[in-house]
Amino acid sequence: MKVLVTGGTGFIGSHTCVELLAAGHEVVILDNLYNSERSVCDAITAIAKKPVQFYQGDIRDRAGLDRLFEAENIDAVIHFAGLKAVGESVAKPLEYYDNNITGTLTLLESMRAHGVKRMVFSSSATVYGLSATPPFKEDAPLSVTNPYGRTKLMVEDILRDLCAAQADFCAVLLRYFNPIGAHESGLIGENPRGIPNNLFPYINKVALRQLPELHVFGNDYDTPDGTGVRDYIHVVDLAKGHVGALRLCESSTGATAINLGTGTGYSVLDIVHAFEKANGISIPYVIDPRRPGDVAVSLANPDRARQLLGWTAHKTLEDMCRDGWNFAKRAMEA
């Protein structure tokens, strides 16, 4: 298939482009480079040994989208483009609704005008909020606690409504758990600007000695060591899940939510110790109060992904720590 990948130069998008090319798909990237760089296309090509087409543009630009769909014969869209920082979304809700909701509506309208009827959407485990009991099954109650999460749930609802109205539309709603790591080549990975919000990039900065110590947000949760437990998944495993989701879209219609997680949980201190062991670098840390809005445990039930996509995660926590650091030590030092 010829696949439009919005946000394709970003962290998860770039790894997905590599897997799509390896599976024989053609890839067209649309990205406004708000949180990524043009050079990522060269890295994707270097890994996959196949070219990608790149359009610099914004999903809110209807005329630009129309030109793209007229020039390319797109069979399906994988939609990563959007803003993703929970804390920032509380401070800047309008920017989040504009990018993530208006942007998605504009994209869907342009898709409709050009007869494109398949979308794989980047949703998030954040839609399980505080009301579900881990490990989360896709039919668990959904709730959200911040504007970012609300944009993910709203787009899921929009796609469910669209599929109900248009019987030949397929939407796969992939609920990602906690992607970390990087491609083993070290050519693509995650390199957030400024002080990272998320655990793994923060640990990388401490390992580089660019930050003095990790702040562990709470050690009084009801978990084995008191620190928060998450379902960390290697970004390459996550990327491979999108190839399966595209296949599902080729052969079915309707809206289907699918968790992409491993089903195994690790605490903050598990990650610290695994990183230290895999890379031989000490990670000093201090215990801080809980971060507002955090849940004790977030964990996937990955059964549906296995059944519908024939997909399971294979890489280990050691792989995640080694590959993530292999990328970060080059990218973050530069």
- Residues near ligand UFG (CB under 6 A) are 84, 86, 124-126, 177-178, 197-199, 202, 215-217, 228, 230, 268, 291, 294, 298
Q: Is 148 a catalytic site residue?
A: yes
Shortest separation between residue 317's beta carbon and ligand NAD, angstroms: 16
- The Cα 63–Cα 68 span in angstroms is 9
Q: Between 21 and 260, name the residue whose CB sits nearer to ligand UFG.
A: 260
Residue numbers at the binding site for ligand NAD (CB under 6 A):
6-7, 9-13, 31-36, 58-60, 80-82, 84, 99, 103, 122, 124, 176, 179
Q: Between 71 and 164, name the residue whose CB sits nearer to ligand NAD.
A: 71
Q: Which does 202 bind (CB under 5 to 8 A by kind): ligand NAD, ligand UFG, none?
A: ligand UFG
Cis bond upstream, residue 201 (ω within 30): no
Reported as type and span, the H/E element at residue 148 is helix 147-165
Q: Which does 279 bind (CB under 5 to 8 A by kind): ligand UFG, ligand NAD, none?
A: none
Shortest separation between residue 13's beta carbon and ligand NAD, angstroms: 5
Shortest separation between residue 113's beta carbon and ligand UFG, angstroms: 31
Q: Which does 179 bind (CB under 5 to 8 A by kind): ligand UFG, ligand NAD, none?
A: ligand NAD
Q: How many CA atoms lie within 13 A of 272 on its CB side?
A: 19
Q: Between 253 and 301, name the residue whose CB sits nearer to ligand NAD.
A: 301
Per annotation, catalytic residue among 55, 96, 128, 148: 148
Q: Which does 13 bind (CB under 5 to 8 A by kind): ligand UFG, ligand NAD, none?
A: ligand NAD
Shortest separation between residue 131's beta carbon and ligand NAD, angstroms: 18
Q: Between 117 and 152, name the residue whose CB sits nearer to ligand UFG.
A: 152
Q: What's the alpha-carbon Rg for the chain, to the nearest Å?
A: 19
- The Cα 94–Cα 265 span in angstroms is 34
Q: For residue 132, is it left (φ>0), alpha (ψ between -120 and 50) or beta?
A: beta
Q: Which residues contact 280 (CB under 8 A, 6 or more apart)?
A: none
Q: Looking at this protein, which amino acid is placed at residue 307?
A: Q
DSSP assignment letter at 251: H
Shortest separation between residue 235's beta carbon and ligand NAD, angstroms: 8
- The Cα 144–Cα 251 span in angstroms is 31
Q: Between 207 and 268, name the residue whose CB sits nearer to ligand UFG.
A: 268
Q: Which does 10 bind (CB under 5 to 8 A by kind): ligand NAD, ligand UFG, none?
A: ligand NAD
Q: Closest residue (Cβ) to ligand NAD? A: 10
- The Cα 197–Cα 75 span in angstroms is 36
- The Cα 13–Cα 80 span in angstroms is 6
Instruction: Count how many residues are written for the chain.
Output: 334
Phi, psi of 130 (to 5 degrees): -105, -5
Query: How large is the angle between the packed helices 103-113 and 62-71, nearest 10 degrees?
Result: 40
| Residues known to be catalytic | 148
